[in-house]
Homo-oligomer: A and B are copies of this chain.
Amino acid sequence: MPVIVQKYGGTSVATTERIRAVADRVVAARRRGFDVVVVASAMGDATDELMAMAHELTPVPNARELDLLLTAGERIAMSLLSVAINAAGCPASSYTGSQAGIITDTVHGRARIIDIRPGRILEALGRGDVVIVAGFQGVSTAYDVTTLGRGGSDTTAVALAAALGADACEIYTDVPGVFTADPSVVPGARKLHAVSYEEMLELAASGANILQLRSVEYARTHGVKVHVRSSFDDQTGTWITQEDARMEQAIISGVAADDSEAKVTIQSVPDRPGSAAAIFGAIASEGASLDMIVQNVGREGRTDISFLVPKADLPRVSARVEALVGEVGAHGYTLDDDIARVSLVGAGIKSNPQVVADMFAALSDEGINLEMISTSSIRISCVIRAEDADRAVRAVHEKFGLSGEAGIRSEHVTGTASS
């Protein structure tokens, strides 16, 4: 029987009433002839509430224990969902990450999946059960419970879809799909019918909180077709899939902003081989995510090196940077956590230099200063003041005519992806 993986986000299972609605949707998929594997997130704000309790006890909770704590949220949601599906007359059984064979490395708080051993899942599917798996969690090679980081349930779903050879991985959320910009910032933002893995990667990395970045990487590597859609209606959402001949070449897919990062600048670093390696080796050993590393040409044998790190990592990173200044012979450093990064993503960027010029013009017309710039073949990112972020997104979105049906063709059209 064909397998489908469905992942439901926290708002989709926030109450027992919504859990019942999800159960109906799952049962409907089962009745359409699919073997259904459901990945459940924690109910509503449950994870944040657990985290808050831990922080009432101490500013820096023990990482192993925190992971045990946080995984309780998915355990509650998955078993309630299973209760609801069973009550609807459809046999179902639920499994923790550990029981589902989701094996990770030993990095608590942001473990990576290194293997899926779906023996119990296949057994349960074989006897006709709907299978529910706790998202966001696994068991480490040291037999400890681990979590996959914020949004990790997306990665759980994609990894299971890959391991089970699923027809598709449906990501149910509280928005109808992937938009050209955050609709709460840009009211005219438009839903995309399809984006390529690469564009979705850039969007996810640019602050579009639709999918965990790692889940998109996983989907791309394993060729998993992902369908992002709303759990509140039956509309087709956005397909994330291989770019293929049936897709028209898009110029721009969307604009995103991210204010979750802080900027670190190490000043007057000696411009010699090994400086950057020493700095980023040290930062990486702190386990901090690094983004948008920028180094310009030096003057008088010295250069400034800037990069972004998640604000949550700033306390750890800043202590390390303090030491690094002396080690590499730099002159000082600055930290700035009042910034935002605005990014424009689209497969047509590289082949159309006018896009870069137009983006900078849009921001300049708004009087917004650019503090850092970094580009890839399908993305342009600018660091600006945090307070300017919403205005910047609206200006860029407007400049490229992404609203409604007007403006340049900015969307992939596929004949079959949504079938």
Contacts and interface: CB of A to CB of B under 8 A. Distances in A.
A72 interface: yes
Max chain B CB contacts within 10 Å: which of A57, A71, A72, A145? A57
User: How many of these chains are in the complex?
Assistant: 2
A76 B87 contact: no
Nearest to A59: B87
Interface in A80-105: 80, 82-84, 86-87, 92-94, 96, 99
Nearest to A74: B72
A142 to B, nearest CB: 11
B84 A58 contact: yes
A163 interface: no
A65 B82 contact: yes
A62 interface: yes
Interface in A34-58: 50, 53-54, 56-58
B71 A83 contact: no
Which 8 interchain pairs have the tightest Cβ spacing?
A: A58-B87, A69-B79, A68-B79, A62-B86, A65-B82, A16-B56, A61-B83, A72-B72
14 contacts: A19-B57, A57-B80, A57-B84, A60-B87, A61-B87, A62-B82, A65-B79, A65-B92, A65-B94, A68-B75, A69-B79, A72-B75, A72-B76, A75-B75
Interface of A: 16, 19-20, 50, 53-54, 56-58, 60-62, 64-66, 68-69, 71-72, 75-76, 78-80, 82-84, 86-87, 92-94, 96, 99, 120, 143, 145
